[in-house]
Amino acid sequence: MTLENWKQPIGLNVVILVSIIYCIVVLVIETMPRTSSLVTTPFRINLQTASAIELEFLPGIGPKMAERIIEFRKTHILRTPEDLEGVYGIGQQKIRYLHWLVATEDELK
């Protein structure tokens, strides 16, 4: 069989063209910014009023640490995550992790 006798199937050009168009459409759709009409607010914990179970939702806070926080807030007012520095076992690194999960006084008003 020589190249002169070989004929390209009739639909191959159409299949290639459709594949290229499909890839371009998928690329455009996937790179478009996603917008939503659903507005969500993050779940924030109030350190001054949260129960032990709610405090345990915070990363790095277990049952014993939650009890320490509850005991600490009996004699201190907790307005920001930085106020937790006096609690045994909580350092600067843990406070940085908690900062986006704890409600500040401005958010509570």
pLDDT tens digits, residue range 16-69?
888 999 999 998 888 887 776 666 666 788 888 899 999 998 888 899 999 999
Structure tokens at 83: 């106020």
Average pLDDT, the chain: 83
What's the CA gap between 81 and 104, in Å, rounded? Answer: 8
For residue 9, pLDDT beyond 70: no
Judge whether 101 and 45 are in contact, CB under 8 Å.
Answer: yes
pLDDT in the model for residue 40: 67
pLDDT in the model for residue 103: 81
Based on the number of CB atoms within 10 Å of its own CB, is 87 exposed (0-12), middle (13-18) or buried (19 or more)? buried
pTM for the predicted model, two decimal places = 0.59
Domain spans of the chain, in order of start: 52-108
Compute the half-sphere exposure of residue 59: CA atoms within 13 Å on the CB side of its CA: 9
The residue with greater pLDDT, 27 or 3, is: 27
